[in-house]
Copies of this chain bind each other. A is one copy, B any other.
Amino acid sequence: MDSADCTHGLFIIPLRLDDEIQPGDRLVDKLLQALANHQLQLMHGDILVVKHKIVSKAEGQLVELDKVKPSASSRAWARRYGVDARTTELALAHSKRIVRRERGVLITETKHGFVCANSGVDVSNVDGGRRALLLPDDPDRSAAKMHREIKKRLQLYIPVIITDTFGRPWREGLTEAAIGIAGMKAIHDYRGRNDPHGYPLRVSLEAVADELACAAGLVCSKLARAPACIVRGFRYHAVRGSARELIRPAANDLFY
């Protein structure tokens, strides 16, 4: 396969960072430096997909667990299921609704509207468990900031997707989902379009941002230091963009 063939498909190029991101770091600087270190260049048409972990860390979305005072209810729940009461407390504090709280699993709706385990609060692999990492305060805003910064630095329009890892009802295993978007539409709408045979398309709304997040998940390995990647060759629709597009209004949801 030569590079000419590549252009007909999609490339997904992992971006390895040499250092751990620290609160206050300028994330775009670090990513551009990593690109340069690996002889990679952002190109027109590329999409940047970034795990929320490094965004949250750069933004200082960290909580000292020792400072969290769990309620009696969180302590009882944590004791019963062998989980950390402080994490439960944080998850509840960062939720606007409990979706399910059963068998040691706490599924909440975050203030952003995402439905996920423990409001996305991540403890186990942050600083040896001393601190918890929260979701970015406003992941769309974080993505927009990176998108603007790249445009300013490189004079390139590069959509940015920030991802987290979510479970799903009915299916085992976790997959990536888009939680912040800037510069592209999250959903492609094929309503009113026909397939190559002229028949109306059944599948009319495709959550391309989530599919891009999943594709990124395949190269942003859990075991390597690749918390970001470039997706090259996907024809996105350039708009301001928002991950809110992916959130189903409660009134339309059969699993509210």
Q: What is A's interface to B at a CB cutoff of 8 Å? A: 1-3, 5-6, 8-14, 20, 39-41, 43, 100, 102-103, 105, 107, 114-115, 122-129, 165, 168-177, 186-187, 190, 193-197, 199-203, 205-208, 210-212, 214-215, 217-219, 222-225, 229, 232, 234, 245-248, 253-255
For this chain, the copies found in one complex come to 2
Given contacts A5-B39, A214-B215, contact A169 B254 (CB under 8 A): yes
Nearest CB of B to A134, in Å: 14
Question: A199 touching B128 by the CB < 8 A rule?
Answer: yes
* B202 and A124 within 8 A (CB): yes
Cross-interface CB contact of A254 among B100, B200, B205, B247, cutoff 8 Å: B100
Closest to A189 in B: B173
Q: How far is the CA of A8 from the CA of B230 in the complex (A)?
A: 12
- 10 A-B residue pairs with Cβ-Cβ distance under 8 Å, sorted by A, are A6-B13, A20-B197, A125-B199, A169-B169, A172-B245, A173-B208, A174-B207, A193-B223, A201-B222, A214-B214
Q: Does A222 contact B205, Cβ atoms closer than 8 Å?
A: no
Report the bound CA distance from A170 to B100 in whole Å: 13
Residues of chain B within 8 A of A246, CB atoms compared: 171-173
A253 to B172, alpha carbons, bound, how many Å?
9
With both chains docked as a complex, state the minimum distance between the C-beta of A115 and any C-beta of chain B, in angstroms. 4
A10 touches B8 (CB 8 A): no
Q: Decide if A171 touches B12 in the complex (CB within 8 Å).
A: no
Residues of B within 8 A of A1 (CB): 3, 6, 11, 13, 40-41, 43, 232
Interface contact A115-B3, CB-CB below 8 Å = no
A75 to B27 CA separation, bound complex (whole angstroms) = 57
